[in-house]
Amino acid sequence: MDSCDIHRVKSEHRNEGVAREARADTLKLVGRNNRFFSKIHLSVRIATLAALSGAPAAIAAGFDLPTNRTDLSEADLKRVADVTRPTRDFAKAEQYEAMQAGAATSVDPATEDSFSHISANIPFDEEQNFKLGNALFRKLWVSAPSSTQASDGLGPFFNARSCMSCHVNDGRGKPPEGGPSATSMFLRLARTAKTSEEKKAIANADIVNFPDPVYGHQLQDLAVPGLAAEGRMAISYREEKVTLGDGEVVSLRRPDYAATNLAYGPLDAATTISARMAPAMIGLGLIEAIPEADIIAHADLDDADGDGISGKAAIVRDRRSGKIALGRFGWKAQNATVRDQSADAFANDIGISTPDRPDAHGDCTRAEEKCLEMPTGVQKRLGDEEAPGPILELVTFYSENLAVPARRKASFPRTLQGKRLFYETGCISCHVPKFVTHRDTANKAQSFQLIWPYSDFLLHDMGEGLADGQQVGLASGREWRTPPLWGIGLTRTVSGHSFFLHDGRARDLTEAILWHGGEAEKARNAFSSLSRDDREALITFLESL
């Protein structure tokens, strides 16, 4: 952060009652105009998604999601609409812009631990739960049976022994880059629906896709002693030259993936493989606190405004309640809550059962008989799962409350130049700058915060270049959820690398932008046409986030 930002942060947010004052600041800021966000009362029927390419004919028919916020008065709705409207003034930083997670923002110095701080407005009596969750996030699980009975149950197949193994320093993963380990990156395995029953399950949002009959949902490259791992991920790259508008040539690397050393026979012919990299963990609770109506307001399935952007909402089920909800976590928005995302990681990445995913054999299938014969770590005196409810709850609490770092150099002229270009090239059509979170959140730390995630959390067709051919619920093989950008400028500091996109193919932010296609092609071409100085300014803006 620059000195001006630091001064503003300290004067506005670091005194007594910071959470209460930040909510008051939000009310002041949003009360300056009465023009209402025209999309907030859009009538959204998920049945219209039936026309989507590759989706079953009646997918999600009859489901409704909220199109109105119920936590605010009409006057407050208008004020929120005003404060979240993108700025047109790039002469100075916006008020509170440096605090991109509101009162929850961490103002600690930028270090490798920048993604590991507790949200700044968490009350003291909840810090213990955060620390316990942190310890469980770092916990190394071992195979059963073991003398450390509270720590056994690993696998039998797995990709990592702990959450931290994938999310090093709570940051993003990376490709193996020729090394022996692919711990923070793995292959998803899935096929589309075949039978009428399977299509109905997709249409009802009861399942997002179907696993390989032998290898399940995920290729696990590690196994407990006495069991052969399923196989390994193989990656090869082809360099492709791209010439920008001013003649500069950039080399992009196109990956090819394969599942090799398969120990239990070939993959099914219908199985698709998709490489996924572990995302950063910051700001997840705030993302969950964004009202569904405010995300849906940005959806434009039929591109009614003619801007070429037609983001759509992902419809899933909250695994705990069984109710229909908006998907907002995962590369294809397949999970509605941080808890669902955590339970999936326990089950698929580590092979640990939880109340929400109670199978103690993890991703073993009926075809992997020896895997199903291996002992589990269930200890009846501790509960019916290897990670009982309190463990899942603490890891979820920790994941929900990892702080987003404050902006750096938000008020610098070069950053503001890049911000203007980011807006003018159309990037904010998907990377929506701001939201105000729900007032009635379970955790008051996430309540009524003005946040700057730079994402609409919708699904977008990103073109053939990024396509993986794998349908996940409503997301086709060409569609991905818009990832939030906050913290992206600290990737090298926290994670020690600069690999981006879902599979780390991009080696820097310029390459990441140039891979954009489909709905993002217009913005990508606008970036490509900028002068080198302007492109560098835009990257400077991203690095400030």
DSSP 257: E
Q: Which of 68-77, 131-140, 209-218, 271-280 has the lowest mean pLDDT?
A: 68-77
Whether the pTM exceeds 0.75: the reply is yes
Residue owning tokens 């899935």: 190
pLDDT (average), residues 215-223: 97
Match 């270009």 to its residue by tokens: 421
pLDDT band at 147 (very low <50, low <70, confident <90, very high): confident
- Local confidence band at 305 (pLDDT 50, 70, 90 cut-offs): confident
Domain that holds residue 175: 128-281+332-400
Give a yes or no: residue 430 inside a domain: no
Q: How far is CA 27 from CA 403, 433, 454, in A?
A: 22, 18, 21
Give the pLDDT score at 178.
Answer: 57
Residue 9 has pLDDT above 70, yes or no: no
Residue 134: inside a domain, yes or no?
yes
Average pLDDT over residues 116-134: 97
Is residue 212 a part of any domain in this protein? yes
Q: Cis ω on the peptide bond leading into residue 145 (within 30° of 0)?
A: yes
Contacts of 280 (CB under 8 A, 6+ apart): 115, 167, 170, 171, 172, 487, 491, 494
User: Would you say residue 432 lies in a domain?
Assistant: no
Question: pLDDT, tens digit, for every residue of 407-466?
Answer: 999 999 999 999 999 999 999 999 999 999 999 999 999 999 999 999 999 999 999 999
- Cα separation, 167 vs 494, in Å, equals 10
Whether 374 is in a domain gets the answer yes
Residue 23 placed within a domain: no
Reference 235, options 255, 209, 211; nearest CA is 255
In the predicted model, what is the mean pLDDT of the chain? 89
Phi-psi region of 297 (alpha: psi -120 to 50; beta: other; left: phi over 0): alpha
- 483 confidence band (pLDDT: 50, 70, 90): very high
- What pLDDT score was predicted for residue 203? 85
Is the pLDDT reported for residue 33 higher than 70? no
Is position 9 within any domain? no
pLDDT-derived band at 179, boundaries 50, 70, 90: low
Q: What gap in Å lies between CA 34 and CA 85, rounded to an integer?
A: 12
Evaluate the CA torsion angle 515, 59, 335, 329 in order and state its sign.
positive
Read off the tokens for 425: 């090239």
Contact indicator for 63, 50 with CB cutoff of 8 Å: no
- Mean pLDDT value of segment 305-328: 93
Please enumerate, as own/partner, the contacts of 244-252 that have beta carbons within 8 Å and a separation of 24 or more. Answer: 244/528, 244/529, 244/535, 245/528, 245/529, 245/530, 246/531, 246/532, 248/532, 250/510, 250/511, 250/514, 252/505, 252/506, 252/511, 252/514, 252/515
pLDDT band at 301 (very low <50, low <70, confident <90, very high): confident
Q: What is the tally of structural domains in the chain?
A: 1
DSSP β-bridge partners for residue 260: 232
Residue listed under structure tokens 């037609």: 310
* pLDDT in the model for residue 56: 30
> Cα(231)–Cα(235) distance, rounded to whole angstroms?
13
- pLDDT recorded at residue 455: 98
Is 269 part of any domain?
A: yes
**Residue 126 pLDDT > 50, yes or no?**
yes
* Tens-digit pLDDT profile for residues 501-534: 999 999 999 999 999 999 999 999 999 999 999 9
Q: What is the pLDDT of residue 13?
A: 40
